[in-house]
A and B are shown apart, each in its own frame.
Chain A
Amino acid sequence: MVEQYDVKLIADKIETLKRTATELKGVSGGIQAIDRNADRILASIKMLEINITDVVDIIDEEQTKR
């Protein structure tokens, strides 16, 4: 029996993280210590997208709910 996860909710949280990291770069004033670390955060967020977000529109509705 395959367990079910609320993939849509997880994807929403990933999107929020991405938006926040992108906004952080927008207000950094070009401070490298912020921009470069935000880039690394965004690369990690991309891995979350690969693992979850990419699948959201493919999984059946009933599979996305616990």
Chain B
Amino acid sequence: MRDSEKYWNPVLETLPPEKLQQLQLKKFQRIFRWAYEHSKFHRKLYNDAGIEPGDIKTLDDIRRVPKVEKAMMRSVQSKEPYPYGDMLCVPLEQVTEYHQTSGTTGQPVYQPDTWQDWEWMAECWAYILYAHGFRNHDRVFIPFGYNIFVAFWAGHYAAEKLGCEVVPGGVLDTEARILKMQEVRATALMGTPTYLLRMAEIARNKLGIDPPRDLQISRIATGAEPGGSIPATKKRIEEAWGAKLYEHSGATEMGAWNFECTAQCGLHVNEGLFLIEIEDTETGELITEPDRMGKMVLTAFDRIAQPCIRFDSKDIIQWSPIDRCECGRTFRLLKGGLIGRSDDITKVKGVLFAPSSVEEVVRGIPELGNEYEIVVAKKGEVDDITLKIELLPEHSAKLNSVQEELVRQLRIRTNLRYNLEFCDYGTLPRYEIKSKRFKDLRKRG
């Protein structure tokens, strides 16, 4: 296969690492200067830190540039030019797209984009879908309620860019979406891990449709939650659909910045369009070695209306020990995708706890349903964790053995004890876009 068929852009995707770094420096200098010259917010931020565009001469110099946090974005918004405030780098009349964050961590952040930015969003996604193996012969079904959230909007436009035929699921309910996929013989799909599992459950239980047998989906793009990189969740989704599942990560303020290729050995960072730094969560030290978790700081090089420069994402990631992927891309790999958010990774009973490790256990036990909920609370002075799960009705006789297995595996994976609460099947909340399965009641004061 020629490189021009194998990659969306072989020139960038196979650029030697030292050349990629040169490109990153050049592009950082450009977006930094753009923001400095066009936004009062950025100019003040950088002036206060004593740094200006001419000071960025090496990649190391970038570490001196102050980070931007979501709270800072919130504080300037809802002011003139309304509603974006003075982070905006273009005249309001050049803004053609409005979106906002979901607000799961507080007041939503508004995201203005020019038409060029919107083209760029789709371009980021074009890299993703092409690496996933989407091609112009695919009929792509998008079961997404097109709305103020970015979610799969850019996936829609990228699929069009690839030449796919796109079927927008829009306001159809889940059952109607499944029936439409069957009717049009869709070959590819996009959705969050949570919703993909839910759709398969509804197809089987309510419609009598077995997706691997009755539908023709062969590949699925997923994102927005860590599930696509949690082996037990990935396995469940691939088995439920009889299709390959490929993950990517993105966010409203950042764009879609990584992707899994068909070799499925980790997530490639799109280093031609983004700079990813991983920092130690406590010391802020730059992490360059593999297998060491840290907090991601992201720069998007080409987004101009509201630039994303050294954004403190709070996402926890780690570099992969795999030096070069068999796909031939030179973009570095992440191991395990988004491991969680630094807000969620917390100490429980003195032990560092990541909710995704519980998901790996729950989804790895076939007798349990897909849904679960973790509640951490204070019982006196002691942390108390409750894990709510559902036993599949056909396995109700195995309650005791499942409970024993769950306790054993949770102890091995998380080194913690849990109160287990078996709920009736179908009673835990089901989610369509982002799930909220971890509740830390200790933070409520």
Contacts and interface: CB of A to CB of B under 8 A. Distances in A.
Given A3-B2, A58-B19, A59-B19, A51 B11 contact: yes
Contact of A43 (B10, B11, B115): B115
A43 B119 CA distance: 7
A64 B88 CA distance: 37
Nearest to B304: A46
A43 B324 CA distance: 33
Contacts of B26: 54, 58
Nearest to B15: A55
B174 interface: no
Interface in A42-58: 42-44, 46-47, 50-52, 54-55, 58
Interface in A1-42: 2-3, 5, 7, 39-40, 42
Given A2-B10, A40-B115, A43-B116, A54 B123 contact: no
B11 A50 contact: no
A50 B302 contact: yes
Contacts of B11: 5, 7, 51-52, 55, 59
A47 B15 contact: no
A39 B23 contact: no
Contact of B273 (A3, A50, A52, A60): A50
Interface in B5-57: 9-12, 14-15, 19, 22-23, 26-27
10 closest residue pairs by CB, A with B: A43-B116, A3-B3, A43-B119, A2-B14, A43-B115, A47-B123, A58-B22, A51-B9, A58-B23, A46-B116
Interface of A: 2-3, 5, 7, 39-40, 42-44, 46-47, 50-52, 54-55, 58-60
Interface of B: 2-4, 9-12, 14-15, 19, 22-23, 26-27, 114-116, 118-120, 123, 272-273, 302, 328
23 contacts: A2-B10, A3-B3, A3-B4, A5-B11, A7-B11, A43-B114, A43-B115, A43-B118, A43-B119, A44-B119, A46-B119, A47-B119, A47-B123, A50-B120, A50-B302, A51-B11, A52-B11, A54-B27, A55-B19, A55-B23, A58-B15, A59-B11, A60-B19
